[in-house]
Every structure is written in structure tokens, then in C-alpha cells.
Amino acid sequence: MDCLPYMAGGEWGKCSVSCGLGIQRREPVCRRLTSAGQQVTLARRLCNGLSSPPLVRTCRMITCPSLSRIYIQTRQEKRLHLTIGGRAYLLPKTSLIIKCPVRRFQKSYIRWEKDGHPLPSCKRLGITKSGSLKIHSLGVVDSGVYVCIAGPASDTFTLKLIGSDSRLIDRPVENESDPEPGLDLTRIQPRFNPQDWDPQGLPHCLPFTPSLKGPSLSLLPSSGVEASVLQVQAGASGLQPWSLEERVRNVSLQAETGEISQDQASQIIYTLITEMAGAQQASTEQWRGTKEETGNPKGNVLLR
């Protein structure tokens, strides 16, 4: 004699995340055990009113690599305050302060490096009393990877510049007579001169004296976006704010995990910036037309 129908759970689906903690789901299935000992699947209506087993469970994948925050500046501002542990695409002539928050560590002992070399100090570039790095009027020479070092702890900050045509600007190579199309160095201050850099590729400034090693510490986690970067006009056609941020983060994560090269990541992000700039320009024209008609401008959206 066959047993009564009962509600069972189907096969578990794929974990909702590729790393970290996620969830798995499965569908309820109506079944019955026959007199021959076989499991038979029935129409779900035959199990109406019967309780089902758990249909959702947690799943744990590999540990996620740390995700750096992404900053993209889309309008000229006099000064930006950002925090170590991120990647920034900023406009030339912007003054930048990169904070390096620490605990249980004397801030005067904080050291900074750029592209693997001790950072020189001059009027345009220096370390504040709080250990922050201050760069006045960003130029092509400032692109690179900055490292804040506090005892045994350290963190990085990658800085790239966006040209007037939304192309990413890289420091040119000496004796390179034909710059990449769109790379108008005359619009970047200062104009490239091979004598501006020493043999190690660092700008000529006053010598920088590394601080003495201090006690151990841990770098404080950064909290939120400190500057009005990563902005696009609300209602812009094409790339939406959340889509842009997600795509840039995915590209940066792929570069950090080695799935794609840094050059490939920069080219993809340049394409995203160009698309965003086009959408912003179209939105600005639409905003001006709306303002003329209604007198009420549309707001901005800040990605966080």
C-alpha cells in the first residue's frame, strides 16, 4: 500500500554569492513513497496544506578579497578629502588630501611612499601634522600608487587623472614622440619635461626624511565617501549611478585578483567614465531646458 503524500525539498540551488556568506534556495516538491519503495513526484496541489521542510539555508564560499572604494570626480572642485585604501580618478588642478587614520600610533611617525619609493617633500606636496598626505594642484606627475606606512601596517591609494576629454592620463614615457590619441599634455599642468623626474621616476622636490619606526598599530577602517565625487545628474540617460559604481568595483576587483591586468582595468574604467561623461552632458542640456521651462533644477545623486 502506498504511503500518503508529503512535502519534500528539491535540489538546492546555487549559492547567491561567489565569496563570503550567502543563501541557497530550493523549491518544495510533493512526493509519495510507493509500496515498492520508490519515491514518486506528484502534482503540488496534492500536498496543499502540508508543511514543507526549510527552503532557504546559508552557504559560505571562499573569503572575499577586500574591496577598495572607488572615487570618480566629475566636476572641478578646489579640494577633496579622501581616505587611504581606495582608488581615485580625479581631475587635474584639484588639491587632494589623503587621510591615513590609525589607532595606538603616533601620527608623526607615519611615512608615505609613491610607486615603491620614499615620497619627497616640497611646497606642493607634504605630510600634515595628522599624518595625511597633501598634494596641491594635481598634475600628471602625481598619478601613481601611494602607500601609507605606520609601523608594520600599511595601505594603498591608487591615483589616476582624467583628461579634459574624459581619457585617463598616464605619466608619459621619456622620448615618446607620439602620445596616445586624446592625451593632450598641453592641457595638463605642468607640461611634461623629462628633467622634472629623477632616475627613479620621482618628481624633483626637497629630500624626504623617513620617520623613525614607532610602536605597532592597526589602520582604522575608512567610513563613507568624504567628498562629493562619483556624481552624475539625476535622470541622466545611459549609465545609472548604482550601475556605474557596481561595474567599476567589479573591474577593480578583477584587477586586484589578477583576472585582468591593471592596463585592461584602466581602459575599461576609461570607457565607463566616457559613457558617464556623455550621459552627464546630455543630462545637463536637459536640465538647462527644464530650468528654462520650470525654473526648478534637478538634483544630484551621490554614489555611496
Angle (CA) 172 174 180, round 5°? 40
Report if pTM > 0.75. no
pLDDT of residue 271: 72
Q: Where do we find the cell 539555508?
A: 57
Domain limits, the chain: 6-60, 69-229, 230-304
Q: How far is it, in rounded angstroms, from Cα 72 to Cα 276?
A: 10
C-alpha cell at 258: 589578477
pLDDT of residue 301: 28
pLDDT of residue 234: 27
Query: Is 69 in a helix, a strand, or coil?
Result: strand
**Distance spanning both ends of the chain, measured CA to CA:** 62
Question: Which amino acid, one-letter code, is at 69?
Answer: R
- Regions of the chain with pLDDT less than 70: 63-68, 164-247, 249, 256, 262-263, 266, 270, 273-304
C-alpha cell at 169: 592620463
Q: What is the DSSP string of 132-172?
A: -EEESS--GGG-EEEEEEETTEEEEEEEEEE-TTS-EE-PP
Contact (CB, 8 A) for 244 and 233: no
Long-range contacts from 283-286, C-beta under 8 angstroms, 24+ separation: 283/232, 283/233, 283/234, 283/235, 283/236, 283/237, 284/233, 286/235
C-alpha cell at 248: 567599476
pLDDT of residue 7: 92
pLDDT of residue 265: 73
Pairing of strands 79-83, 95-99: parallel
Spatial neighbors of 174 by CB under 8 A, at least 6 apart, are 194
Give the closest residue to 299 by CA, choosing from 259, 239, 241, 214. 241
CATH architecture for the domain at 69-229:
Sandwich (2.60)
Give the closest residue to 229 by CA, choosing from 66, 83, 102. 83
Q: Based on the number of CB atoms within 10 Å of its own CB, is 83 exposed (0-12), middle (13-18) or buried (19 or more)?
A: buried
Task: Say how many C-beta atoms besides its own lie within 10 A of residue 141's C-beta.
Answer: 23
pLDDT of residue 280: 52
Please give the radius of gyration of the chain, using alpha carbons only, rounded to the nearest integer.
27
Q: How far is it, in rounded angstroms, from Cα 166 to Cα 273?
A: 6
